[in-house]
A and B are shown apart, each in its own frame.
Chain A
Amino acid sequence: MKKKVVAVVCVLSMSMSLAAGCGNKEEGAGGNGVVEISFPTFMCGTASQTEWVKERVEAFNEEYKDQYKVVMEEIPGDQNYIDKMKVLYSADDLPDVIVTGGYNLIDSMQDKLVDLTPYVEEDPEWAGFMSDVGKNVNTRDGKLYAIPYIRQTIGYFYNTELFEEAGIEQVPETWDEFFEDCDKLLAAGITPVSMDTAESGWVTSLMLGAMIGDSDTGEEFMNTNQPDDYNNDEVVKAAGMIQEMFQKYTTADAVGGAYAEAANNFFNEKTAIIANGPWMVSKFYDTSVVSEDFGDRVAVATFPGNVMYNSGQIGWSIASKTEEKIEASLAFVKFMTSEESQKLDLEMCSVIPDCVITDADVYSQVQDTINLADSASRSINDFQSLWHATVVDEISVQYPLLADGSITPEEFAQALTDAAQ
């Protein structure tokens, strides 16, 4: 009998805890009127923006030390960060400030995010830093849910010396030329392209996206948020080209390999081409991973058809619940998205800013990327920002099948469509 009573009491107390949620947490003000806000970030350890975020948060805490304090929580690993945010979202306990590395959390979490439109309208100077593309990506139903601070500009890098060896004089302008050049590289004993399949097959999928985007309808597709249907000519044709690339033009470790292997093959000059963004450039000059002068041998190009990834990126969101915390978070987000911060991010981490910055001191490849993006005839967005997370995940398990010919490009497109629904 007693046992039953104990059990009932336990169940009751548990269900009460559910009903009450997590109400009374420590209040925002930590002594002497300083408002504390929580800021978990994946920018720690080896992540590319670690230095920048550390420097900026310290600067903010110093500048506003009488008013606000940002408490950073390091969450190593992009995926771990997303997983934790999802748990916190379901527990209705999101942190004050959220920023992801290209993952789109706005669509699933917008009911808990603060609509930032009125605050931006109040501050024309701040609004002036934001590009229209940047704002569009972060807007849902006319409401701005995040402040853009970076731009996604991606072409591909190639090794000029290897291109010369193969007798390639200028970068290919069409995909047919691209594959002809690949044959030239092969004939010179050089593996043309770095590819991968693990995680989201990032390097490979950038190529896939650029192939899809090489037409009017394709360009439109690569600017559509969360498409549900991949059964179209562009995707099928691109998947066919990727299949050919896997079978003929890449390294043996590509199928199953991750970004690390793909990058390493390019660093060691085993491959001549890798698609990736400018944040990679600082590694070209890091002699612990590359040989001397390697950086001087790397140039950047637009994808065939003069296609570039050039789009806004999901930026900084606020999920604070009290007026006081919203105010503090606003000050922090304003600080992190200011022209000064964006310029530092560009200079320290080669991350392309959302606003226009002309006087930054950067590597030549970074500046070239910006210039190419500005003059590209087609601008597309990347798959990781656009497509359903399930599709991005499905890609990694379908590439190996596509590579060894177990499935046709049509079946590949169908598999992505299935994953989206």
Chain B
Amino acid sequence: MKPKKRTLIVFLTPCVFLFLFVYLFPLIMVIVTSFFNWRIGENVFFVGLANYMKGVADPNVQAACWHTMIWVILQSTIHVLLGTVLALILLPRFKGWKIFRTVCMLPNVISTAALAMVLLNVFKTDSGLLNEILRLFTGSKVDINWYFNADTAFFSVMAGWLLYPGMITILMLAAMQSVPEDILEAAKLDGATSWQINTRIVLPMVRNTLGTSVIVAATSMLKEFELIYLTTNGGPGNATLNFPLYIYKTAFTENNYGYSNALSVMLIIIGVAIVMLINKMFRMDQSDY
């Protein structure tokens, strides 16, 4: 549809205003200062691409990059899959589905600090819940320090978000519930199994929302910070270090704002590329109908 210019301005202005007011200046600031040596208590001077060169060679950046990528991929596949399956199970509105919908959201509601403390206790060595359960099943003594062993830390930290698809479920469920009833009824009359209805009718009709879910999941991993900070702090070594945490550390611990902002620019570029890619994959630029 080709809109009138005025209509477009009316629709876009409030959002553009919010964006410009809050983000434009910081965005410019981050980009510009990424080319400067800027540390607290030192003179600020232009260094060209030095911060970026340092970033590419920094082993911590490589580790953070690698971890972030794996988490983005797993989150936008397994996490979204879990959420979607959950939404499909809730779709027929069995008794108590509303309670279950609220239950799904609980982990997103309690503060991350509280969730971190729970998880620390679950993954503890001696009195940890996970080890106790494994002891019950295997009968032998299990003494794994899940969060602080270099081999298990990466996947243990990941469990703190990968297994909590509440948001995706809520998103998908809302979209699935707006699929017209009569289409589903007609399919049922034609003898379609629920598997066929789900995969051939429901999921294609909510393709846009599925794409949005993938974007939400992927970008959440590009921002994930608090839970790691409060549990392993990126360790042991740099086993659970990711981009946002390393950026925080370079800014607030190392006081190296220039470098931190160069890393931020790298993160933004990677992130926008990922969002665009998902947009394209799910053809979200046009309406189906």
Write the residues of chain A forming the contact surface with B, with a CB cutoff of 8 angstroms: 2-3, 6-7, 10-11, 14-15, 17-18, 82-83, 86, 89-90, 107-111, 197-198, 251-253, 255-256, 389-390, 393, 396-398, 400-401, 403-404, 406-407, 415
Contacts and interface: CB of A to CB of B under 8 A. Distances in A.
A390 B253 contact: yes
Interface stretch (B118-126, B173-181, B192-200, B274-282): B118-126
Contact of B233 (A18, A89, A393): A393
A108 B145 contact: no
Interface stretch (B77-85, B206-214, B235-243): B235-243
B235 A397 contact: yes
Nearest to A252: B126
A256 B128 CA distance: 12
B249 interface: yes
B28 to A, nearest CB: 8
A401 B20 contact: no
Given A86-B255, A390-B254, A253 B124 contact: yes
Contacts of A10: 20-21, 24
A406 B236 contact: yes
A19 to B, nearest CB: 12
B139 interface: no
B145 A256 contact: yes
A363 B97 CA distance: 59
User: At the interface, is chain A mostly helix, strand, loop or mixed?
Assistant: helix
A109 B41 contact: yes
Interface residues of B, number: 34
Contacts of A256: 120, 124-125, 145, 147-148
24 contacts: A11-B20, A11-B24, A14-B28, A15-B25, A83-B252, A86-B255, A108-B40, A109-B41, A197-B148, A198-B233, A251-B126, A255-B125, A256-B125, A256-B147, A389-B254, A396-B233, A397-B232, A397-B234, A400-B235, A401-B235, A404-B145, A404-B149, A404-B150, A406-B237
Per CB-CB distance, the 9 closest pairs between chain A and chain B, nearest first, are A397-B235, A252-B126, A400-B236, A108-B41, A400-B148, A256-B148, A14-B25, A108-B40, A252-B125
A401 B150 contact: yes
Nearest to B150: A406
B224 interface: no
Contacts of B24: 10-11, 14
A20 B130 CA distance: 56
A405 B133 CA distance: 27
A133 to B, nearest CB: 24
Nearest to A10: B20
A401 B237 contact: yes
Nearest to A112: B41
Interface in B15-29: 20-21, 24-25, 28-29
B25 A255 contact: no
A255 B148 contact: yes
